[in-house]
Amino acid sequence: MPYVAARFVPVPESQLDRGPIRGWCPGVLDPMETGDGWLLRVRLPGGALNADDLRLVAGVASELGSGFVEITSRANLQIRGVAADEIGRAATRLVAAGLAEADAGADARRAVVASPLAGHDSAASCDATPVVAAIVSRLVADLAGSLPAKFGVVVDDGGSWPLGGVDGDVRLHASPTGWTVRVRGNPTAVGVTSDPAHAVLHVAQQCIARGARLDRGTDAELTELDSGRPRTLGLVRHRDEGRRNVVAAPFLGRLDAATLIEMADLAERFRADVRLTPDHSIVFCGVAADDAPGALTALSDLGLVVDPEDGRAMVSACVGSRGCASALADTSAAAHLLAARTPVGRTHLSACTKRCGAPSHAAGITHLVADATGEFR
């Protein structure tokens, strides 16, 4: 089994010289080969990063990749189009910046999703930020063995950003008496704990012992997204009256390196905490109320979507033929045409039957899949 580079985990023979397969979960040190080169996924616990992180990712993308990055449905960033002989340099820079662990197995344990408004939400039961940090610390330092692919943790602070449609092996929900714990395969809560990091570690150890994720159970285990609820975009209430949270979304979750750098400059200018969201958007948290309209306008001027009624806010898609060898259609071109229609219902475009990136637990979203002729049906 060949290695991408000496410090990297082996890349399976089946992954070489082919497009992505659903279920494969790449990282920085265990990348995926796609139709436009190699893809490196940067895991960001809680979706948190800063202006310097944005610049670092932009530099890697522009110098060693295609120049494009994507925000994923687990609030991570993935860098596209990295050449095989540049993977080592890209990963070394990301690890040195603290955006990945130096070991692929340890890095995979950092898959923790939380509300992007954590610490900035007046509706939340608590600030989940230290809980996310504690979970990541325990999983990286105290866990021995390899977790199953796609193992993930969801930390819901009970606030205004719902996480019911995000898949997780362990789901924590803040309550007045502690953290309610749910696990995959069990339709009811398994208990309440004051030590959520310990509870997550225990479930992770179970998964390692059985060599698999816990059973999915029924689809009712995950709360379906409310089809009538528009995307959260624009100015959002902050826990402090003198501040606002500013939410904007790049169309289809895709950004070029130049735009990332401009966003980093804006984050510093408006003294904002930066968070990515599971809805393929980005939040500037804690912007002064007087500055918030200007921040929103500046993000809109960069081409980001800031209005939930904008047709572009209603469409999502896999990368399509511009970045996947398995694709049967150009999803980007089709998405632009669809977004221009009025009105547009929530729609996801898939370029093949794998339906990558499709929100499988969301009600009211139309899934259109390309057939062999390249038509969406």
Segment 269-302, tens digit of pLDDT? 999 999 999 999 999 999 999 999 999 999 999 9
Q: For residues 191-218, give the mean pLDDT.
A: 87
Is 172:153 a contact under the CB 8 Å cutoff?
yes
Q: For residues 143-158, give the mean pLDDT.
A: 93
- pLDDT of amino acid 360: 55
With 90 as the cut, is the pLDDT of residue 256 above it? yes
- pLDDT of amino acid 175: 86
With 60 as the cut, is the pLDDT of residue 361 above it? no
User: Helix or strand or coil: residue 241?
Assistant: coil
Give the angle subtended at the CA of 312 by the CAs of 309 and 316, to the nearest 5°.
Answer: 120
Reported pTM: 0.89
With 80 as the cut, is the pLDDT of residue 185 above it? no
Q: For residues 180-188, give the mean pLDDT.
A: 88
CATH number for 112-221 (one of 3.30.413.10, 3.40.50.1370, 3.30.365.10, 3.30.160.270): it is 3.30.413.10
293 token code pair: 């309209």
- pLDDT of amino acid 229: 64
Is the domain 234-310 a CATH 3.90.480.10 member?
A: yes
Reported CATH class of domain 13-101: alpha beta
Say if 112-221 and 234-310 have the same CATH topology: no
Q: For residues 233-252, give the mean pLDDT.
A: 98
Q: Strand pairing of 273-276 and 282-288?
A: antiparallel
The secondary structure element, H or E, covering residue 131 is helix 129-142
- Return the top range by mean pLDDT from 13-17, 233-237, 350-354: 233-237
Q: For residues 169-177, give the mean pLDDT.
A: 92
Average pLDDT, rounded, for the chain? 88
- pLDDT of amino acid 92: 97
What is the rounded CA–CA span in Å between residue 233 and residue 211?
A: 40
Q: For residues 304-325, give the mean pLDDT.
A: 93
* pLDDT band of 236, cuts 50, 70, 90: very high
- Give the helix ranges, DSSP H, for the chain: 51-64, 87-96, 104-108, 129-142, 196-210, 257-269, 292-301, 331-339
Domains in the chain: boundaries: 13-101, 112-221, 234-310, 312-369
- pLDDT of amino acid 221: 40
